[in-house]
Chain A
Amino acid sequence: MAKTQRIISEDELQNKIYDSQLFKRLIRYLKPYKWPVYLSFFLLLFIAGAQLITPIITMWAVDDVILSNRELIIFETDEEREDFKQRYERIKYDEYTWEGRYCLVISHRHVDFIDPMEYEQYDEQKRLYENVMFVDKTESNLALLPPEYIFILSEEEIAIPRAKLEELYEEGEITRDELRQLRSQDLSELRIYGAVFLLVIILQMLFTYYQVALINHASQHAMYDLRRDVYSHILRMPLSFFDKNPIGRLVTRVTNDIRTLDEMLSNGLIQLMQEFAILIGIMIMMLVLDWKLALVCFSILPFLTVLVVYFNKQTRKIYRKVRKRLARINATLSEDISGVKIIQLFNQNARKIKEFAEINYAFYKASMEQLKLFAVFRPIINSSRRVAVAILLWYGGGQILQNNISLGLFIAFMNYVDRFFEPINQLSERFNIFQAAMSGTERVFDLMDKTNEDYRVENTQDIQLKGEIEFKNVWLRYNEHDSEENYVLKNISFKVKPGEKVALVGHTGSGKTSIINLIAGMYPFQKGQILLDGKDIHEYSLEDLRRNIGIVQQDVFLFSGTIRDNIVLNKGDITDARLKQVANYVNVHHFIEDLPGQYEEPVMERGATFSVGQRQLIAFARVLAYDPAIFILDEATSNIDTETEILIQDALKKLMEGRTSIIIAHRLSTIQHVDRIIVLHKGKIIEEGSHQQLLDNKGLYYDLYRLQYT
């Protein structure tokens, strides 16, 4: 039931891409790294600016250098010129005065500012020369150009209309080399533009590098912090939480779910911002350069937006279909490979192949649908750029013809239009990243909202227990909602004196493990009281409690790392000498010495390379290193070779010496070492006494003894 509900809620999440609450919690993790983030945004603006400036450089190069589109207006008096200058403050100009001619040279782009009537007037009075270019006033240049074509502007410069110069070149009046000499000023200026261009792109590259480095430093470290918090949070959950949640799912929270987040932060989000900044920048630039032309270019945007939105919707739908069918292929493969033996045994190959072919074909069909959708929309979206270019050519070309805009401006517009359409292609990809990240965030923070185990940190006193344990009418059931009869411990009362050795004996399900779980404070119990050294267990902090109890589990768990790590368990203050002493005491020193790496020998795959007995000895050393007042052992059931068995028994005897010991015993020899045996059956204490007493009783213990220990 719970399973089904989970599936539904995960499906619901799919539709959500933005949740401000979640987003805020996520952003909080970026707080410690705000300076790199700010700096990175600052750089981002520069990069966007650089992307915007390169078309402008090209425009200037074309208009001012290659085409030399400048207008020359000649005024008769200085006053007239001053008057013009005052009326058109916005116009940038170069001013020249030579032999009673008062000249202004205006860039072609600024001609628009002049009143058309006035402009017309200048033209009629032959005081206006369009498209003039500058030539150095050298003897050789003057010799090449007919005086009637030129205007001397200053000591250094003369001006000549481009058309006249081209005429001369075409008619062969001047040679190619002479033309190069005449235009040497423009040629070198072009190189300057080139150098600026180069500088901009190199700067852009450097900035991009630092921007990427900064933002990733911030987001990866933020995600590292989050991952740490989540993991630490999970470790502090009560054990009952682990009984309910499969480990695989919890691992996914710490790993994959957070990964979708760091992908969004370092990939999707930043690039989206950059693209957005550039998009806005381009729109502003275009509007500033020529708002009419800009609006004409934007005219296809509404159509394109509708198309993209529709396309994205369709893509998502079909994407989900493809994923679902791929998941079915995976599920079928996984199941049929696991069950291949059954399929073969029941001779079902042919039928299963047919079934798989159908599932496979369904996936193919969905993929083809997706392919066709892309095949329709991708080219259309790509071509929309060409539509914009066609419109630009038709309208913008007309504007050039009417001398309203320059060719350089036209080129700049073409560049902008090209860049404008680039990000649109990647929109659906970004959308997917966002969606995955948002559902990941939701799952992660859902988990973070679950309550931890209460560690009672405030009670920590670094206490040293003597080791007295008392159970008073303890009742336990694992699931709060279970009915009364599901108690696994029923009214358990017993007392263990400091240093006493007690064995718990009983059939599977009798409650032995539950008792040791309760002593270590692993589960909350419902009724009764547990006292340690006469004080209620709840008055100790968990840390104090667990530091005083050493547990060796039935299946000894070794962490990857070295043998040493596993004995010391991050207790830094244990010296090498002490380590060896401890190991020697529990008879594991010789075994470790024989390993190639000795104490530094790596432990692989949870200690799978060591035998059960060896692992148990290592666990003994681990307990001894901690030197707790209470020792708890859940003895291994599996067979251990005689030699190791002797070592274990000897170590066990030493370990129990002077320590309160509670043993779930599976071996006769173990049972013979203890002072008292508590016999459990179905959650109740049935018998109590020494081995011999209990055997004489001929009760439950007698039966158990014959079953398990002979």
Chain B
Amino acid sequence: MKTFETIIPFLKKNIGKYIIGILLLITVDIAQLIIPRLMQVAIDRIEMGTIDQVGLFYVGLIILGLSALMVVIRYFWRVIFIGVAWSIDRDLRKQYYKHLLGLSQNFFNRQKIGDLMAYATNDLNAVRMMVGFGMVMVVDITFLTLATASFMASYNVQLTLMAIIPLPFLSLMIIFFGRKIHARFSQVQKLFATLSGKVQEGLSGIRVVKAFAQEKPETEKMSETALGYAEENIGMIKLSQGLFRPLMFLFVSMSMLIVLVFGGSLAILGDISMGEFIAFFQYLGMLIWPMIAIGWIVNMYQRGTASLKRINSIFEEKPEIVDESSDKSIKEIKGNIEVKNLKFKYTEPGPWIFKGISFQIKAGQTLAVVGRTGTGKSTLVDLLLRIYNPPRDSIYIDGNEIFSIPLNTLRNNMILVPQDIFLFSNTISENIRLGKPDATQEEIEEVARKVHIYEDISEFEYGFETIVGERGVTLSGGQKQRLAIARALLTDPSVLILDDALSAVDTKTEKGILKELIDMRKDSTTIIIAHRISSLRHANQIIVLEDGYIAESGTHLQLLRLGGLYRDLYEKQKIEEKLKGRNG
């Protein structure tokens, strides 16, 4: 029963509502059962001639009254039962989201976004169905089946027993077919995914398709899959609508048939009255729904628990990056960073990213990190921010071992502008405000000027209130980068890290921004990772990463004089500048 641990607290919290709901449900069921009995009495009296038009009118009126009562009560049990299910759905989704945000980057690297989203929607949906309609059905079925059967038995036990013979088969059949159809449906879904994949592939390779005049063969290839999908779909529909539904109908009709023939015989022999004979049909109609629902419940329960298990698997994930050994008294960071013989690899059997690097930055200094792609520049800054956990005793900030600094303090004071800029589909000002929600418009504008994006923003129709992203304006790479830097600068962090955050900005603007940066950050630490060496000139210290070690380190001039990797990179970039500047 461990699966249900997640939802049991919610169920307990709502126990009162559930009890009221159950009582209401039973009341409705009783009202529902009374109607055929009223009909029976009326018909028997008609047959005997002991009722007149007025009497019939009253019986009709009672039926109307009961129907109205049922409408009212049904409203309430639906709102109670299903409303509780919706509130569980709501609370679980919130809890799920909260849990997700606490998990570390490693977890997100392993998961597909689509899966994580499906848990919060499709799977929660299955769980909601289980605790909502599922619960209703369990109560309804148990009571309605027993009550209806006893009402029927009060007329004639033998006929009752005979009439319900096909019904358990009906439930079994629904369970059986439910599974079969579900499996078949998954198969259809799988083929559909294959089909989508095929189409996606063909269209992605459109250049090859065209270059080799493969339009026709490519269509044939897709057709094969599409035909397979069509056939599988036909198979599933044949099963569900061609076989399952008519069979269900057949079983139900068999019960009716039994009542007609055997009930009819009993009526001929006077064992039951005509009213009772008719009431039997009606009660049978009421029994059929629970029998169908039993099948549903079994399937709903299976899907619900499977979904709940998937959701639980996420809840069971523990965040790797935790504060277990932090010293809560550390509330701020000055910006002295020391890295001592840092060694790191992402996964256990895996290549070393760092085989032992050491360096030191004092508060107020600027460090530049240079190196080819894949030398671990981004990894280095991720470790400084504990996006991944570094080994113990290798990173010290203000003399404190990094694990002793509370995550809150660390991330409030050290801000990273990552390589892949992520902006929320929100207004520009909201995006800039991310780290400092109470910033004034003036502050935002000021910081936008500092990163030379103010002009760009002013040109948009809605200025700072322009929505960016999919549903709004598309920003250029350079604009995105400048916004991201503005967002970081607004928080005025003790340590600012730019991970290749100016690569899409043109050289002139970059120079301007760097000038502002140096000016603004005289007293705080800045770490810059850059490809463009021209932008690193002013750094107090430059380290060149290569093969997991620091290959070269020093100031711009020192490194140029050294004539190594740095010098080589520098020369190449000079040629590139020249080419770019050249006019054809």
Indicate which residue in B42, B76, B198 contacts A397 across the interface (CB closer than 8 Å). Answer: B42
- Shortest distance from the beta carbon of A668 to any chain B beta carbon, whole Å: 15
Contact yes or no, B233 A348, CB < 8 A: no
Chain B residues with CB below 8 A from A442, complex form: none
Q: Give which listed residue, B234, B249, B385, contacts A217 with CB less than 8 A.
A: B234
- Whether B576 lies near A707 (C-beta < 8 A) is yes
Q: What are the residues of chain B within 8 A of A389 when measuring CB–CB? A: 35, 39, 63
Within 8 A of B (CB), among A35-64: 54, 58, 61-62
Within the complex, what minimum Cβ distance (angstroms) separates B326 from chain A? 14
B11 to chain A, nearest CB (A): 18
A492-515 with Cβ < 8 A to chain B: 507
Question: Is B203's CB under 8 angstroms from A707's CB?
Answer: no
The answer to whether B219 touches A231, judged by C-beta atoms less than 8 angstroms apart, is: yes
Q: How far is the CB of B413 from chain A (nearest CB, A)?
A: 10
Contacts of B43 in A (CB 8 A): 397, 407, 410
Q: Which residues of A contact B254 (CB under 8 A)?
A: 201
Residues of B within 8 A of A187 (CB): 265, 268
CB < 8 Å: which of A3, A344, A351, A522 contacts B437? A351
Quick one: which of A232, A371, A520 contacts B215, CB cutoff 8 A?
A232
Nearest-CB residue, chain B, relative to A348: B434
Q: Does A242 contact B (CB under 8 A)?
A: yes
Indicate if the CB atoms of B415 and A346 lie closer than 8 Å.
Answer: yes
Q: Give B63-79 as 1s and 0s: 1 = Cβ < 8 Å from A's Cβ atoms.
A: 11011101100111011
B97–A360 contact, CB under 8 A?
yes
Query: Chain B 565-581 against A: per-residue CB contact (8 Å), 1 yes, 0 no?
Result: 00000001001101110
Give Cα A559–Cα B202 distance, bound, in whole angstroms: 8
Give Cα A227–Cα B223 distance, bound, in whole angstroms: 8
B205 x A557 contact (CB < 8 A): yes
A65-119: which have CB < 8 Å to B?
Answer: 65-67
Return the contact of A375 from the options B74, B285, B425, B582 (Cβ within 8 A).
B74
Cα A684 to Cα B47 with chains together (Å): 104
**A648 at the binding interface (Cβ < 8 Å):** no
Q: Once bound together, how far apart are the Cα atoms of A653 and B204, in whole Å? A: 30
Complex contacts, B105 vs chain A, CB 8 Å? 340-341, 344
A557/B213 in contact, CB under 8 A: no
Is the pair B63, A224 in contact by a Cβ cutoff of 8 Å?
A: no
Question: A644-676: contact bitstring with B at CB < 8 Å (1 yes, 0 no)?
Answer: 000000000000000000000000000000000
B559 within 8 A of A: no
The answer for the CA separation of A202 and B116 in the assembled complex, in Å, is: 48
Do A251 and B196 touch (CB < 8 A)? yes
Q: How far is the CB of A117 from chain B (nearest CB, A)?
A: 23
In the complex, A312 has a CB within 8 A of chain B: no
Q: Does B524 contact A (CB under 8 A)?
A: no
A387 contacts the other chain (CB 8 A):
yes
Contact: B274 with A401, CB < 8 Å? Answer: no
Contact with A along B266-281 (1 / 0, CB 8 A): 0111100010011001
Is B46 an interface position by the 8 A CB rule? Answer: yes
Which of A207-215, A279-287, A433-441, A583-591 lies at the binding interface?
A207-215
In the complex, how many angstroms separate the beta carbon of A177 from the nearest chain B beta carbon? 10
Say yes or no for B246: interface residue by CB 8 A criterion: yes
Choose among A67, A333, A379, A394 the residue that contacts B59 (Cβ–Cβ < 8 A). A394
- A640 near B: Cβ within 8 Å? no
Q: Judge if B201 is at the interface, Cβ distance under 8 Å.
A: yes
The listed residue with most A CB atoms (<10 A of its CB), out of B86, B89, B208, is B208
Which chain B residue lies CB-closest to A414?
B278
Specify the main secondary structure of chain B where it touches its partner.
helix
Q: Are B579 and A700 in contact (CB under 8 A)?
A: yes
A348 touches B192 (CB 8 A): no
Give how many A-B residue pairs fall within 8 Å (CB-CB): 383
- In the assembled complex, the Cα of A250 lies from the Cα of B204 at a distance in Å of 11
Interface residues of A in 227-282 (CB under 8 A from B): 227-228, 231-232, 234-236, 239, 242, 247-248, 250-251, 254-255, 259, 262, 266-267
- C-alpha spacing A386/B63, complex, angstroms: 7
Q: Name B306-322 residues within 8 Å CB distance of A.
A: none
Q: Give which listed residue, B196, B216, B411, B424, contacts A335 with CB less than 8 A.
A: B424
List A contacts of B349 (CB < 8 A): none
Please indicate the chain B residues that have their CB under 8 angstroms from the CB of A371 in the complex. Answer: 78-79, 82-83, 86
A255 and B199 form a contact (CB under 8 A): yes
Given the complex of chains A and B, what is the CA–CA distance between A352 and B59 in angstroms? Answer: 60
Bound: A626/B39 CA distance, A: 84
Q: How far is the CA of A325 from the CA of B140 in the complex (A)?
A: 32
The one of B42, B101, B231, B269 in contact with A353, judged by C-beta atoms closer than 8 angstroms, is B101
User: Which of the listed residues B53, B245, B254 has the most CB atoms from chain A within 10 Å of its own CB?
Assistant: B53
Known: A348-B435, A387-B64, A553-B208. A54 touches B253 (CB 8 A): yes
Nearest chain A CB to B570 CB, angstrom units: 13
Looking at the complex, which of B235-243, B530-538, B539-547 is the stretch in contact with chain A?
B235-243
* Residue from A190, A208, A549 within 8 A of B211 (CB atoms): A549
- In the bound complex, residues from chain B placing their C-beta under 8 Å from that of A3 are 470-471
Considering only residues 380-429 of chain A, those with a C-beta below 8 Å from chain B are 380, 382-383, 386-387, 389-391, 393-394, 397-398, 400-401, 407, 410-411, 414, 418
For residue B399, CB closer than 8 A to chain A, the reply is no
Tell me, yes or no, whether B19 is within 8 Å of chain A by CB. Answer: no
Give, as a whole number of angstroms, the nearest-CB distance from A69 to chain B. Answer: 11
Are A247 and B203 within 8 A (Cβ)?
yes
Residue among A255, A546, A560 with max Cβ neighbours from chain B (10 Å) = A255
A507: chain B residues within 8 A (beta carbon): 579-580
- Say yes or no for A293: interface residue by CB 8 A criterion: no
The verdict on A606 contacting chain B, using a C-beta distance below 8 Å, is: yes
**In the docked arrangement, what's the CA distance between A65 and B274, Å?**
12
| A198→B415 CA distance, assembly (Å) | 78
Q: Does A530 contact B (CB under 8 A)?
A: no
Does A374 interact with chain B (Cβ within 8 Å)?
A: yes
Q: Are A266 and B97 in contact, with the CB atoms below 8 A?
A: no
9 closest Cβ contacts across the A-B interface?
A570-B217, A212-B242, A394-B60, A682-B584, A194-B261, A375-B78, A379-B74, A390-B63, A390-B60
List 12 other contacts, CB 8 Å, given A227-B226, A520-B211: A54-B253, A62-B277, A248-B200, A336-B101, A349-B101, A364-B89, A374-B78, A379-B74, A379-B75, A394-B60, A546-B213, A606-B205
A-B contact pairs, 23 of them (CB 8 A): A54-B256, A62-B264, A190-B261, A193-B261, A194-B261, A201-B253, A209-B238, A210-B242, A239-B207, A242-B203, A250-B203, A254-B222, A266-B237, A329-B120, A340-B108, A349-B98, A349-B101, A356-B97, A361-B90, A400-B46, A520-B210, A551-B208, A622-B212
